[in-house]
Structures are given as C-alpha cells and as structure tokens.
Structure 1
Amino acid sequence: MPLKPDRPPADGRCKFRLGDFAVDEYRPIKVVAIGAGFSGIIAGIRFPQRIPNIDFTIYEKNAGVGGTWYQNKYPGVACDIPSHCYQLTFEENTDWSAFYASGPEILAYIERTVDKYKLMQYIKLQHELIHAHYDEPSAKWHLRLRRPAANSDSATGVHFEEIEDTADILFTGLGGLSRWTWPDIPGLNEYKGTVLHSAQWDESVGDLSKQKVGVIGVGSSAIQMVPALQPKVAHLFNYVRGKTWLASPFAITKLAELTVRDPKGENYSFTDADREAFKDPAYYKTFRHELESDLNSVHPAIIRGSAIQQGAQKAFKENMLKQLAKKSWIADHLVPDFSVGCRRLTPGPGYLNSLTRDNVDFISTPIKRITATGIETINGHHQELNAIICATGFNTTFQLPFPFIGRAGVSLQDVYTPHPITYLSVCVPGFPNWFQALGPNSAVGSGSLLVVIERQIEYAIKATSKLQRERLKSIEVKKEAAQDYDEYIEHYFPTTVYSEKCRSWYKMGKDEGRVAGLWPGSCLHALRVLEHPRWEDFDYEQLHEIKNRFHWLGDGQTYNEKTMTGDRE
C-alpha cells in the first residue's frame, strides 16, 4: 500500500524535499584521462563535446602525443591494418601514401588531429601516473603523478617531483602494448656493443652500413624491421624461436585489386591519381566502405575447422613457400603447424623476400646466451655482432607497474590474477567511476581497432552522463555481471583458433591458457554489444542524503525556463 504523504519513511531516510536546481542544471564534474594515444585523443575530443560543465585533463607520460606511435620509432614501423581503416570514423584522411601506412605518417595524422581539435589545452605531457586509489567517502579517484621538476637542467640532469590530483570519473587508455620487455636471455647485460629494444629505438644509433646486426624475434616488429634494415647493414642475423603466418596480399580483396597495378609490390603505394580520386566524397566513401566490408568479412576464418580457415592455410602456405624458394629450408622452421590467426596475423611486406638475401641469415637454433661480443646458440656457434636489436614484445599480462586500488582496498593486480576479469572490457567490479579503453579482451583479430576504441569511449561517456545527470555519487558494475561475462568468454574462445597451442600476446605471452587480449567475437559484434549499455548491470549510490531516486528531477524546471535564457521551444 502506498505511503501517505505525512508518513515518515520506514527505513529512516530523510524526508523528501525538492532540489533547488533545474533538471538540466548539470553539476560540475571532473574527468581525468590517462594516456594521449588514440584512446586519450578520442576521449579529448568526445568528452568535452558530450559532457557539459566538465573539468577535463589528459595526463601523458611521454614527451609527445601518439602513444605507441610516439614510442615506436624503429626502422620500418608501420600499421598492419589498411590505412583507410586505421583512422577515426569522423576524421578522414584521403592522403595516405600506401595501403599500410608508416608509423611516422600515423603519428603525423594524430598530431594534426590534436591541433585541429585544440586538444593541447587538456594535455599535460611528461606526467606519469604512479598511484591511483578510490576514496569511498568522497567517491573520488585520488591520483599521484610524477613529472620532471622545474629545476631540472642539462647540467644536473632530470629531477622528478610528485603531484596529486582527483577525479570524479577516471578514464584510462593505457594500451595493451605499451610496456616493452627485454628477453629473458642470460648475459644480456654483459654485451658491450649497441643493444636496443624495438620500442626504445635510439635514432642516434648511427651508420649501420658496415655493421653485423642481430635481430631477435619474429613478431610484427621484427617482421617490419628486418626488411627495413637488410639493405642498410653489412649482414643481418634474424634469431627466430617460433613460427608465424604471413598473410598473402590477396587475403584482402581490395589489396588484390590494387596489386594488379603493381604485381611486385606487397604494400601498394597510392599514386597522385589515386589520392586525387579520393577527394571525391562519393568515390572515397565507396572505396572505404568496400575495404571495411572486406576486412570485416575475415572473422569466420578464426572458427576452428571452418572452410575459410582451411583455405587461408593453403593460400598462405603456398605464398610463403613461393617467396622462400631461394632458401626453401627456412619454410621448415617458419611455416606454422597451428591455424592461421592463432598468433597475430601480419602482412609483413618484404620480410620473406629479405630472408632470402645474401646478407641475411635466418637462425632457428635456440639462443644459449649473449656474450660481451655477440650471441651464442645452443649448438655452440658464436656470432660476433656490432649491435643486437630485441624485437621481443611487450608485457601483455595487464599487470600495471603501480598500485591501482579500488573499493575496500582491493588491488586491480589481484583482480587480474590469474587472468583479468572485467565487464565487457570497459569496467571492473570494485572499481567505481572508472572506465577504460584497450583493457583486457579489447583487441580484435580482424577489423579496425580504432572504431572499437571509439565505441568504448562513447560507453564511458554515457556512464559519465548518467552519473552527472542523475546526480549520482557512484556507478559500479555488479560482480555477478562481470562473472557472467567471464563465463561467456570461457565458453567462446574454445570454438576459435585462438585457443590452439601457440605463443601469443593474445594469451598473455603463453602457449596455452586464457585468451585475455581479444574481444570474444568479431569487430562488428563488439560495436553492437557496446552500443547500448545495460544499466541494470550496475549498482548506484546517491550523491545526497536524500535517497529518493527522483531527487535529480530538481525543482520542476529546465535551466532555460529558470533563467529565462536560451531556447525555450
């Protein structure tokens, strides 16, 4: 039976009173984003556009924007997704130089976008997050960041200081491939020559034309670096412990069409005529639509035993054998026995061809140790080297290198052990008012990652808007909702090739086990899932002592009516 108006609430709540604010008189809200890669840049554009009365800041640890495209500067760095699919949906670029754009070209695109949307007003460079914890009484995130001190100079070196900040909403775009790792090889610290990691490339390394250079690895970085270095060095030694598939140019219909114009090219270079044609909006839209449709048609290949998977294996093997014909024995050590897509698939333009050159040695014998002057393999052979380049990847465990503490002192590191548990990859129970892009299970095996990032950010913005509009103190995903999602993941991946035995960052660098890097479905599947939040999967706390869920309706007016300003139609 309904309560009578003068009857006090049975649970002892304060008596209801109207708010002294208009329904759309949005309270101030402070949002802090971590990272100025693609995720932070998109957040920097969309949060101020979508959220009124916002105080917004982006903290970036590097000295420039771009994230992985700022950090990775090794020779040959490029994207392995077609250029016209690796751009923001709302910020088109018709001037890409090649089908697969180079790293510097992508970084320039990011920098132009930052300038166009005037994002530097929000960005604080060289500010590294070193501690984050959620304060329950205030419902705010408390952040500690490290930055160069003002008294640093070239004579005394860089000194650091720590600062603190708070946020009503914390958004992180830390990236799954942002913390590079050295290989676990004995003697690495004893080497006296030049030693570099692909993600820490030193552009002052100097002339390598008379140098003997060892490249360790066969991931995407090594596959791009080897053909870039091969013409420049005296001799290159590629140390490879695993196997990998390299995609045929004909795996993408649109690339196959373009390759007809340049049969010898694995990465088609757009001509002046191509770029001029792209200036026609109708032509460009059709080209991009066909390319994205082509890219999004690949997903069935990752289903175990599918006809398209079998066809891909046959086509890719034939292409690899053909390109390695000059040194056919390499194929025995490089062509995998696992399915296409179990490891990250890369087109690798020029890699196979470079392995057949006279100044390149492909070494599949495992490394025993690194000495002061080179690399020794387990068969006792020692190779003298002037430089060693470790293209050995990143820490893909999602274990952050700093404390990240949620409600009741819960550590994110603990929640992510033995594998990460999230809700749709965007949030985690026990961590209110926090959303992320490129967290666990965010990447896609085919399709454009950037459009997924856009949708993850829109999800975070919708949650922020709800928090602000309804004057909520906190929004937190329910534990049982995350557990249900975890159960879905556990049952999905065994149907795919990703669960086969192969070492991959998809599985946190392991041969077998939990797939933590990929979304459990296709790219288009992710977009559909994230489009409409299930608000019933969240718990909420009221901001004020009045616990009536409709207190946010305020005084019955809109702001324009209350102030007699603006549009009142």
Structure 2
Amino acid sequence: MTANGTGINGVNGAAPAQAHQAYQYSKEPLGNPRPIRIVVIGCGVSGIAAVKMFKDRFHNLPVELALYERNKSVGEPGSRTVTQGNPYFSRVYVGAPELYEYFKGRADAYGVPDYVRLEHKVTDVSWNEKMGQYGLKIEDLATGKTITDHAEVVINSTGILNAWKWPDIPGIHTFKGTLLHSANYDTSADLDGKVIATFITPELALDLAPKGRDTVYSREEQDKWAEDPEEFLKFRKRATHILNTGFEVIVKDSKEQKETLAMIKKQMEKRLSKKKELIPKLIPDFALGCRRFTPGDGYLEALCEDNVTVRITDIKEIVPDGVITSDGEKVELDALICATGFNTGYLGVSVAKFPNYFMTTGPAAPAAHGTFIPCIEAYIKYAFDAVERLMREGIKSICVKEEAVADFQEHKDNIVHDFVWTSTCRSWYKNGTVDGKVWGPWPGSGPHFLESLAHPRWEDYDFKYRTGNRFQYLGNGRTIRELEGGDLSWFIKKGPKHTREELTPSTVSINGL
C-alpha cells in the first residue's frame, strides 16, 4: 500500500492556507453531511460488525459501505471458543463448525451479503492526495479479472492470523500422503486407520484435540434467559466480569501468576498420569501466559492415548513417505497435519503517513484478554468516529502523527516487560521468536483497552481540510435542522419529578439549569 504525493501532514494539523485567495463562505447549512465511501478489506467477524454498526449509525446519511473478502464465505471465526459462548450453542465451548454457522447466521441477519463481494482480493491501495481518496485494485479470484474502486476511508479488517503458512521444513511439498493445515483443514479427509503426524505449537494444538467433555447449558437455563432479559443480562455481565478479573495472572511474579501456575501444573500432572514420562517434557519452565495456555480440554488426554506417540524433537526433513527427525530416525506416515502458526504482520488502528486508514486487530490488539468481540466493536466505532468528522466538518484527511506512534510504542515497549509475554518462550506474540520484540498484545487489561479507545485523542492526529479555511463547514449561518423543519428545542430535557409543594422558581428547572 502506498501514500502517494508529499506533504501529507499539514502544519500544526491543518493544510497550509492558500495565499491571498479571497475567502467565500459556503452556502450550505451547518450539519449538511458530505458523501463518504468506506471500503472494508475482509469480512470476518470485524466485517460483520462493521455492517451492523454502519447501518445503526449512518442510516439515511450519504455514507456508502463496501466490503471485499478473498474467501468463499464470510465470518471465519477461528478454531473454537475459549470463553463462554452464546447460551444457545450446543455446549458452553464450541468448535469451528458451529462457530462458523453462528457467524454466518449473524451475517445474514444483518444483511452483510448486500455489502460484500466474496472471492475478491484487494491487491493495491493507493492514496490520491488531490482527490482525498484511496484508489483500490481488486482481483476477482473467480474470473482472474481486476476491478477498481475508490474510498475516502479504508478499514483493514484482515485479522491477526489471516495468513497461515506451511512450516519451513525442507521437502514438505514432496510428501505424497495427505497434507493438511489446521487453518485450512479439510474435514472430509479420511484419516481412519492412518499413521498421522501432527506438527504442533502447543497454543495451536488445542484446536485439533478432541473436545467431548464440554459442559452444556440446561434447557431450564435457556428458557429462563429467553423469558427474562434482566436475568440474561446478569448472566452475561457476570461471565464477562469474571473473565476481566484475571489480568493479574499476566503480571510477572504476581501472587495470581504463581498461584495459577501451581494449579495448572497440578492439573497437568493429573491429566498426564497415564503417561508420567510426558510430565517433564510438557510442563513448561516459562511463565504461564507467555503463550496460549496448553491444558485445553481434551488435548493432554489425547496425548496419553495408546495410539499416540509424543516426540519432542525437531524435524530435519520431510520425505515422500514420512519424516526424518533431527536425530536421524525415519518415521513413515500416511498423513501430515501442520498446526505451526501464521505469518503475522505489523498492523495498527492507525498508521503514520496513511490518512483515513484504520485497522482492526492490528499490533497491540487485545488478543490475550478474554472475549474479543467488544474489542472489535471498539475498533470499528473508533474508525466511524473519524468518518463522522470527515463527513460533517469539512475535513479531507486525518492522519496519526509519527510522534504519537513513537510515544505509544515507547510506552508499550516499556510496560510490557512487566508482563509474561516477554518471558523466554517461542510465541507468535513475538513473531515466532523466543526473545524478540513483543508486537502484541495490548499493554494492559481488556477494560483498559476498551476505555483507551472509547474517546479518540484527536490531538494525536493531523487534519487537512477541503478548503483553506477550517471553519468553512460552518456554512451560511443556519443549521440543517432549521431548513428541514427539525426539532429546534432538542436541548430541552425532561426534569425530575416534583411534588406540588416543590413547584417554585427556585426548585424547578425550565431551560436546563
């Protein structure tokens, strides 16, 4: 992606005034919105949320929305829920198939198909400074043709782990058996009676392990919540509150970290008791939470089955009929399943030198902070707050200042050393390294993230205006509500109740005071 032209950021956040040009006020009333087109790249959960929030916020306003999704369907949700799910799911924690159907149903309910083009991959996004727009090139993957589009605002919602990769092992594509990846898993593959090897990182292995022990919501609970919205709200708030109280576990050497680590180790020892030789191999020596917790339901139990052999070793080479381990042993195989990770890019909610460009789930995203959907909605609201200003205030572009990016990065890099993500483990938080720089997650708790994004710090942005005078949007001295016969006393609010005896000029507010 490129930002064409020079001088994207004006002096002190404003475009330089045009020299000696006579000013002429706009004949339009204050509040008359200008047309804005938004393009969202990607239609997973973020894209679905964008459509819902767009329809809620910009109804009957001259704002257009288009989404491009490279996959054949919307709403790719990941592998399974790791927090309590919808009480009408088949069980408390569900896997990918049920999650997919849920999000697909939400997409249909919100009218997402009316806004999205599937199997369309955005290949180029370039800023046109003169027009104050992005030009986009999009490849139609079904036909191979390229189409073009434009937008005043682009929201990148491609996700944190959208670019899965095969492991970097010599010979992987010479394997003649069944080759699968957890991120693009073919559920129709017949593995019965086959000799299978699974290359895993523990935080991803949870996604493949059997999941037959999940608890379910009772019919009585479901009926109660359906009939009593207040009880349902209490249930939702209680579950989320409990989830958000766990952040202290992430703090290095905290009491909560030590107690939880001891509890988890005890659980692992119990669940590995069938094969005690695995205990010293699988219980980690790094801080709990340095990467995703391993003792997911069914994972350790699967490793203890009689038909499973655990090898803690590197793979030297893949050959047509199996693998060669680092100690020279050949293991013959019928199938390989790779759960080895993703390419993670450097993304952020805003990027210096790229005006009118926003991202969801970029660097420092709260990827280890519990339920993610409220965080996605916070990203979308943030971008839509900027759209609102572009639409109503005569602003051509808004771009985060480089010094603001640097200051935030300095803060994040400093505070993250107090959290377990900098412990010595290999993690995609550090782009697959043991001791590399932590690009995520958010340097604080889930509530900390939500409050931080709730009110944008516009002082951290440079603004460029559509004309040389930033106040031209004030227009002709009238408001749009006056010209359209709207409510001209909207500022008068209902006051509190008073008894007859209290009705005196000193106790009753008339105009808000």
> What TM-score do the two structures reach when normalised by structure 1?
0.80
Query: SS of 2:145's equivalent?
Result: strand
User: Is 1:518 aligned with 2:465?
Assistant: no
Q: Which of 480, 486, 490 is equivalent to 2:409?
A: 486
Query: SS of 1:282's equivalent?
Result: helix
Written as runs of structure 1 = structure 2, the 5 A alignment for 1:386-401 is 386-396=334-344, 398=345
User: Is 1:278 aligned with 2:262?
Assistant: no
Q: Tell me the C-alpha RMSD between the 2 structures.
A: 1.9
Match of 1:249 in 2: none
1:490 deviation in Å?
1.2
User: Is 1:127 aligned with 2:120?
Assistant: yes
User: Is 1:470 aligned with 2:393?
Assistant: yes
Written as runs of structure 1 = structure 2, the 5 A alignment for 1:291-310 is 291-310=239-258
User: Is 1:334 aligned with 2:257?
Assistant: no
Say if 2:25 and 2:476, in contact at 8 Å, map to a contact too.
Answer: yes
- 1:415-447 CA-to-partner distances (Å, cap 9, x unmatched) read xxxxx4x7xx31011000101101111133222
Distance, in Å, in 2 between the alignment partners of 1:460 and 1:173 is 11
Q: How many residues align?
A: 471
Match of 1:81 in 2: 83
Match of 1:321 in 2: 269
Say if 1:444 and 1:522, in contact at 8 Å, map to a contact too.
Answer: no
Distance, in Å, in 2 between the alignment partners of 1:115 and 1:504 is 36
Q: Which of 89, 102, 118 is equivalent to 2:95?
A: 102
Change (3 A) 1:10 1:442: closer
1:310 deviation in Å?
0.3
Match of 1:507 in 2: 430
- 1:479-501 CA-to-partner distances (Å, cap 9, x unmatched) read 11111111101111111111111
Match of 1:261 in 2: none
Distance, in Å, in 2 between the alignment partners of 1:94 and 1:557 is 51
Q: Which of 200, 212, 215 is equivalent to 1:268?
A: 215
Match of 1:178 in 2: 162
Distance, in Å, in 1 between the alignment partners of 2:84 and 2:20 is 58
Say if 1:82 and 1:101, in contact at 8 Å, map to a contact too.
Answer: no
Say if 1:213 and 1:386, in contact at 8 Å, map to a contact too.
Answer: yes
1:13 deviation in Å?
4.2
Distance, in Å, in 1 between the alignment partners of 2:21 and 2:324 is 76
Stretches of structure 2 lacking an aligned partner (at least 5 in a row): 1-15, 490-513
Match of 2:188 in 1: 204
Say if 1:215 and 1:226, in contact at 8 Å, map to a contact too.
Answer: no
1:16 deviation in Å?
2.5
Say if 1:81 and 1:448, in contact at 8 Å, map to a contact too.
Answer: yes
Match of 1:558 in 2: 479
- 1:507-564 CA-to-partner distances (Å, cap 9, x unmatched) read 11111121112111111000111011111111111112xx2221101112222422x4
Distance, in Å, in 2 between the alignment partners of 1:102 and 1:395 is 23
Query: SS of 2:207's equivalent?
Result: helix
Q: Which of 54, 72, 89 is equivalent to 2:63?
A: 54
Matching residue's letter, 1:115: D
Query: SS of 1:376's equivalent?
Result: strand
Say if 1:48 and 1:56, in contact at 8 Å, map to a contact too.
Answer: no
Matching residue's letter, 2:334: N
- 1:247-284 CA-to-partner distances (Å, cap 9, x unmatched) read xxxxxxxxxxxxxxxxxx85212232232233232222
Larger deviation, residues 124-133 vs 195-204 = 195-204
User: Is 1:42 aligned with 2:34?
Assistant: no
Match of 1:227 in 2: 210
How many percent identity over aligned positions?
37
Matching residue's letter, 1:496: F
Say if 1:31 and 1:57, in contact at 8 Å, map to a contact too.
Answer: yes
Distance, in Å, in 2 between the alignment partners of 1:295 and 1:426 is 24
Matching residue's letter, 1:543: R
Match of 1:312 in 2: 260
Query: SS of 1:296's equivalent?
Result: helix
User: Is 1:367 aligned with 2:315?
Assistant: yes
Larger deviation, residues 375-384 vs 294-303 = 375-384
1:221 deviation in Å?
3.4
Distance, in Å, in 2 between the alignment partners of 1:296 and 1:347 is 20
- 1:85-131 CA-to-partner distances (Å, cap 9, x unmatched) read xxxxxxxx441222212212222221221222212111111111111
1:328 deviation in Å?
0.9
After the TM superposition, list the runs of 4 or more consecutive aligned residues in structure 1 that deviate by more than 6 angstroms. none
Say if 1:471 and 1:543, in contact at 8 Å, map to a contact too.
Answer: yes
1:346 deviation in Å?
5.0
Matching residue's letter, 1:78: R
Match of 2:152 in 1: 168
Matching residue's letter, 2:84: P
Distance, in Å, in 2 between the alignment partners of 1:195 and 1:464 is 45
Stretches of structure 1 lacking an aligned partner (at least 5 in a row): 1-8, 70-76, 84-92, 150-158, 229-264, 399-419
Say if 2:203 and 2:291, in contact at 8 Å, map to a contact too.
Answer: no
1:68 deviation in Å?
4.3
> What TM-score do the two structures reach when normalised by structure 2?
0.88
User: Is 1:14 aligned with 2:21?
Assistant: yes
Say if 2:70 and 2:141, in contact at 8 Å, map to a contact too.
Answer: no
Match of 2:492 in 1: none
Change (3 A) 1:94 1:13: farther
Say if 1:68 and 1:177, in contact at 8 Å, map to a contact too.
Answer: no
Distance, in Å, in 2 between the alignment partners of 1:224 and 1:146 is 32
Larger deviation, residues 106-115 vs 312-321 = 106-115
Say if 2:364 and 2:443, in contact at 8 Å, map to a contact too.
Answer: yes
Say if 1:445 and 1:522, in contact at 8 Å, map to a contact too.
Answer: no
Distance, in Å, in 1 between the alignment partners of 2:146 and 2:310 is 47
Distance, in Å, in 1 between the alignment partners of 2:242 and 2:371 is 11
Query: SS of 2:343's equivalent?
Result: coil
Change (3 A) 1:10 1:467: closer
Match of 2:74 in 1: 65
- 1:146-167 CA-to-partner distances (Å, cap 9, x unmatched) read 1145xxxxxxxxx411111111
